[in-house]
Structure 1
Amino acid sequence: MGMPKWVEGAVLENIHWADNLFTLKVDAQVDTFIAGQFTSLALEIEGERIARPYSYLSAPGKQPLEFFFYTATDGVLSNALVNLKSGDPIWIKQQANGFFTLDEVPAARDLWMFGTGTGIAPYLSILNSAEVWQRFDNIVLVHAVRSLADLKYQEMIAEFQQQYGERFHFQAFISREVVADTINGRIPVALQDGSLEKAVGRELNIEHSQLMLCGNPDMVKDAMQVLKARGFSKNRRRTPGQITVENYW
């Protein structure tokens, strides 16, 4: 294996959503990736190239490349990325990595996607690709954030609802505010007490459901615990299960 190749890209747009939440749209010639994969972004900071992994939010083959950031979780690099302006250079790895892709998810009727914060990014990439709609009858996207201001990409999500109707369901969790049509609390609790399934109008079961968990490691760990108690198991290549996981830090 040679050294990973870096390509120089250019920032097209920096969208500041909230104090610590932003999106970068980047123009760069990278290799084709699979929806759900991540790459590395880097900047030269005080003479050193600082790199971190970030999931593609944009769908494969689409330009510009799009990434969703939360400055608090990874310090130095994201706090430099947040200040980038249109035309600024940015380094990006030519090849993507990662196994948080549909290739790794066994067949089922229903696909449940659970994400916290910027952990929604790989799901938006997957949902903007044709394969997921060909493979699953029903898709539930669950996005957990702290406050209403953190709930982004609602226009895109509304387009999925419009296009796929009853086949697509979106459920937001907001932990620090009470907001209509959202669940006030955390995903693991709602998995335990049944309130999520009640809100969505679908049942999670071993026979028909596949689950993907992405984002905050505490959510992933706690949700896994609840799901295991309900008979679900982690999906591994040799022993297929129902839960596919990606931790964000």
Structure 2
Amino acid sequence: MSSASNVSIDAYSEKASCERLLWVHRWTDKLLSFRTTRPAGYRFTAGQFARLGLEIDGQVVSRAYSITSAEHEDVLEYYAIIVPGGQFTSRLDALQPGDPVWVEKLSYGFMTADRFSDGRQLWMLATGTGLGPYVSILQQPEVWQRFEDLVLVHGVRQCAELAYADKFAQLRQQAAAQGWPARLHSLRCVTREEVLPSSPGLLAGRITDLLRGGQLEQAAGLSLTVDDARVMACGNPEMVTEVRELLRQRGMSPLRRAGGGQFVTEDYW
């Protein structure tokens, strides 16, 4: 999903809308969230991604980013990492509100919660900016009404990279106020900093190691089983590949268009 393409502005304008940057929030020197205006008639399902384009040296360079905003919002929000020396992200890092951003007219991707037809728990595993689609998914009331437990697992290197904590707390409060039945379990995994025992929901180690060792289930107070758990994994390819294998060892299989299956994955690199 991260591959970029270079096309002429005239050619790109046939499939994209020229929107405007509205807002930028910097989590760290390399991580940021940003919002653009939303093209008229633009539709997406929570969990999908958009292709964005920036004008660089007379051409449009495009790249895919998961949409973190809710389906009903009149703006589009995204979560991004700045790659040092990267053609697209170096330009993105320099943008200011009011600058143009091209948004392709179609949304893409199949990692959406509505693909699961059964299950009581929705496990959402992410590394880094792979968190993005879950920010959108958790803003959909039907997800809170459909599942009994929502388990969000975010793996990062350092605590400063644990974005959207306030948003998830707000969503938990909103769900309680609305009487939505699901419980949100937020598990944060850090690999390069010491984790204090007094830090609730904060675990030391890689997601895959914690999944293999049972610490994720212990922290959530739930069992990840074929009958009850439905799993999404989004992040770096190594994590996604290893998660697939660990889930297969538990008797799970990937979702198929014809039906059946307990997990869906998406590389985010």
Q: Deviations over 1:159-212 (max 9, x none)?
A: 133234671110000111123331111111111110111111111011111000
1:95 partner SS: strand
Match of 1:69 in 2: 80
Counterparts of 1:180-191 in structure 2 under 5 Å?
180-181=199-200, 182-191=202-211
Bigger mean CA offset, 29-38 vs 199-208: 29-38
CA contact (8 A) 2:39 2:103 kept: no
Bigger mean CA offset, 159-168 vs 202-211: 159-168
Match of 1:177 in 2: 193
CA contact (8 A) 1:214 1:220 kept: yes
1:233 aligns with 2:265: no
The whole-number CA distance in structure 2 between the counterparts of 1:239 and 1:161 is 31
- Please tell me the residue identity of whatever aligns with 1:5: K
The whole-number CA distance in structure 2 between the counterparts of 1:239 and 1:52 is 31
CA contact (8 A) 1:142 1:170 kept: yes
1:18 partner SS: coil
Correspondence for 1:20 among 2, 24, 30:
30
1:197 aligns with 2:217: yes
Deviation of 1:97 after TM superposition, in Å, equals: 1.1
The whole-number CA distance in structure 2 between the counterparts of 1:29 and 1:239 is 33
The whole-number CA distance in structure 2 between the counterparts of 1:185 and 1:72 is 24
Quote the sequence identity (%).
Answer: 39
The whole-number CA distance in structure 2 between the counterparts of 1:74 and 1:230 is 41
The whole-number CA distance in structure 2 between the counterparts of 1:103 and 1:97 is 15
1:218 aligns with 2:238: yes
* TM-score normalised by length of structure 1: 0.94
The whole-number CA distance in structure 2 between the counterparts of 1:242 and 1:74 is 39
Deviation of 1:74 after TM superposition, in Å, equals: 9.2
Deviation of 1:73 after TM superposition, in Å, equals: 8.5
Q: Deviations over 1:65-123 (max 9, x none)?
A: 10000112992111211111011111111111111112322311111011111111111
Correspondence for 1:10 among 7, 20, 23:
20
Residue ranges of structure 2 left out of the alignment (5+ in a row): 1-11, 177-181
* TM-score normalised by length of structure 2: 0.87
The whole-number CA distance in structure 1 between the counterparts of 2:132 and 2:217 is 23
Residue ranges of structure 1 left out of the alignment (5+ in a row): none
1:39 aligns with 2:59: no
- Please tell me the residue identity of whatever aligns with 2:186: F
Match of 1:57 in 2: 68
Supply the RMSD in Å over aligned alpha carbons: 1.8
- Please tell me the residue identity of whatever aligns with 2:25: I
Match of 2:149 in 1: 138
The whole-number CA distance in structure 2 between the counterparts of 1:74 and 1:242 is 39
Deviation of 1:239 after TM superposition, in Å, equals: 4.9
Alignment length (residue pairs): 248
1:82 partner SS: helix
The whole-number CA distance in structure 2 between the counterparts of 1:172 and 1:240 is 29
Q: Deviations over 1:203-230 (max 9, x none)?
A: 1011111000011111111111112112
- Please tell me the residue identity of whatever aligns with 2:184: F
1:29 aligns with 2:39: yes
Match of 2:4 in 1: none
